Amino acid sequence: MEFLPDGRMLLCEKGGAIRIAEGPDYNSSSLYMTITDIESGQERGLIDIVIDPNFAANNYFYVYYSKNSTNKFRIARFLHQENSGGLTSTGDLSSEFLVYEDTDTWSSCCHYGGGLDFGPDGTLYCTIGDEFNGNQAQDLTRSGGKVIRVNSDGSIPADNPLVDGPGGNHDAIFAYGLRNPFRSKWDIPGNRYYIAEVGGNVQSTAMEDVHIGVSGADHGWPYCEGSNCSWPSGEPANFSAPLYSYPHTAGTPNGGSITGGFVYRGNQFPSSFIGAYFFGDYAIEYIRYLTLDGSGNLTGDFDFQPSAGLVVAIDQGPDGALYYCDISGSVRRIVYDNGNQGPTCVTVTSSTSNAQAGVMISFDADVEDAEGEALDYEWQWGDGTTTTGSIPAGPGVRSLPTEMHAYG
């Protein structure tokens, strides 16, 4: 899922089709382009799409997919054709330019990632899974289990951490030690690269992780998940522990499967959400968010949508709403409705809880209203009588007048 500068949406289908949608509710769509030389069995197929930072000038977009004729994953660049605009725009399949190709042909079902995004320096980042071979994540000659960083023309940035020329290390590596990093996203204002990593199959130690990508970092796999580490020769100096982890077994007997998201920078949600990191879980079927302080330290972990379905992609739309896709092919939008909210009762107290008939008891209550409006209230007593009143408008928690009522 990707948004064009004018707000239109590009949607990837695993089998190779890309659709373009428009309108306030994105209910209208048409076929944009179909990648035909693709193998989409098991966890392969069309995985992610991103537009060039200079899209307005060059009309480039990039996809990460598994090419059938080579049996390798690749990052490819294509040209957007505006045509008459709207739903007439298409991608030019014949314009394909190879930006990057995996070092290995696929030989397993699973763990190909991935997430495709541009960093603040204009280089292209892609997360690739370990291809169901945990040892590959620590093999610096291969791309599996890594973050790959390349220039948009396919060349290797000279400041990549493992660049050593022909032979030796795989020069495109930015970071390594990842099992199946399913989605990754740069938060440009915060200058942080978020990577979501799906946990392993040893249920007693497996964890779902959110990492902050760092140049040259070892994120631990296959020796480390969350804080559960078993290094063969001691913890390496370049190990980067996850920002956040939760047990792979949380909420389901079959284990979790994290889907990485984004840091909220819109204005449709309340300002308290700005800077929060949203993510989903395909297996547990929820969307949650993390809050962080100004230094990037984790301060909270909260439910957002506990019954979201089988979440495979999450992003912020140009309108500031949250958009997500589930495996069934649905695209859903969550917006903030700032309609009038009901008041809540914060505390209720009485002068005694053990009284004889006829004894007068005092009752107090504190209430809160999000809008701070004037409130009417009613006490309902056990003898069938009621007491009503009102309190004026005001911010925060407010106290009702003390009420006296005889017991019994």
Most confident of 113-122, 251-260, 368-377: 113-122
pLDDT at 253 over 60: no
> Does residue 147 share a domain with residue 202?
yes
Whether 51 is in a domain gets the answer yes
Whether 98 is in a domain gets the answer yes
> Does residue 143 share a domain with residue 170?
yes
User: Which one has a higher pLDDT value, 37 or 42?
Assistant: 37
Whether 199 is in a domain gets the answer yes
For the chain, what is the domain count? 2
DSSP state of 255: -
pLDDT reported for residue 357:
78
Q: Cα–Cα distance between 381 and 360 in angstroms, integer?
A: 13
Whether 339 is in a domain gets the answer no
Beta strands of 192-321 (E only): which ranges?
A: 192-198, 207-212, 224-225, 228-229, 244-247, 258-263, 277-281, 286-292, 298-305, 311-316
- pLDDT digit string (tens) for 145-180? 999 999 999 999 999 999 998 888 999 999 999 999
pLDDT reported for residue 254:
56
Average pLDDT over residues 297-302: 94
> Does residue 291 share a domain with residue 218?
yes
> Does residue 177 share a domain with residue 66?
yes
Q: Name the domain boundary from 303, 334, 365.
A: 334
Q: Name the domain boundary from 334, 357, 390.
A: 334
- pLDDT digit string (tens) for 329-380? 889 999 998 777 788 899 999 988 777 777 889 999 999 887 788 999 999 9
Whether 364 is in a domain gets the answer yes
> Does residue 310 share a domain with residue 386?
no
> Does residue 374 share a domain with residue 304?
no
pLDDT at 201 over 90: no
Whether 271 is in a domain gets the answer yes
What's 265's domain CATH number?
2.120.10.30
> Does residue 300 share a domain with residue 212?
yes
> Does residue 316 share a domain with residue 218?
yes
> Does residue 152 share a domain with residue 88?
yes
Whether 304 is in a domain gets the answer yes
- pLDDT digit string (tens) for 266-276? 999 999 999 99
User: Which one has a higher pLDDT value, 408 or 177?
Assistant: 177
Q: Cα–Cα distance between 152 and 63 in angstroms, integer?
A: 12
Of the listed ranges 186-200, 329-343, 388-402, the one predicted with least confidence: 329-343
Average pLDDT over residues 86-96: 98
pLDDT reported for residue 408:
66
pLDDT reported for residue 401:
93
pTM of the model: 0.83
Of the listed ranges 15-24, 31-40, 252-261, the one predicted with least confidence: 252-261
Percent pLDDT > 70 in the chain is 98
**pLDDT band at 255; cut points 50, 70, 90:** low
Q: Name the domain boundary from 287, 309, 334.
A: 334
Average pLDDT over residues 229-247: 96
Helix (H) or strand (E) holding 9, with range, is strand 9-12
Q: Cα–Cα distance between 80 and 170 in angstroms, integer?
A: 31
pLDDT at 252 over 90: no
> Does residue 156 share a domain with residue 15?
yes
Contact 408, 356 (CB under 8 A): yes
> Does residue 329 share a domain with residue 368?
no
357 is in which domain, residue-wise?
344-406
pLDDT at 250 over 70: no
Residue found under tokens 């040892």 = 135
> Does residue 197 share a domain with residue 81?
yes
Q: Cα–Cα distance between 210 and 184 in angstroms, integer?
A: 9
With H, G, I as helix, E, B as strand and everything else as coil, classify residue 135. Answer: helix
Q: Cα–Cα distance between 274 and 306 in angstroms, integer?
A: 20
Residue 7 CB neighbours (<10 A): 14
Whether 160 is in a domain gets the answer yes
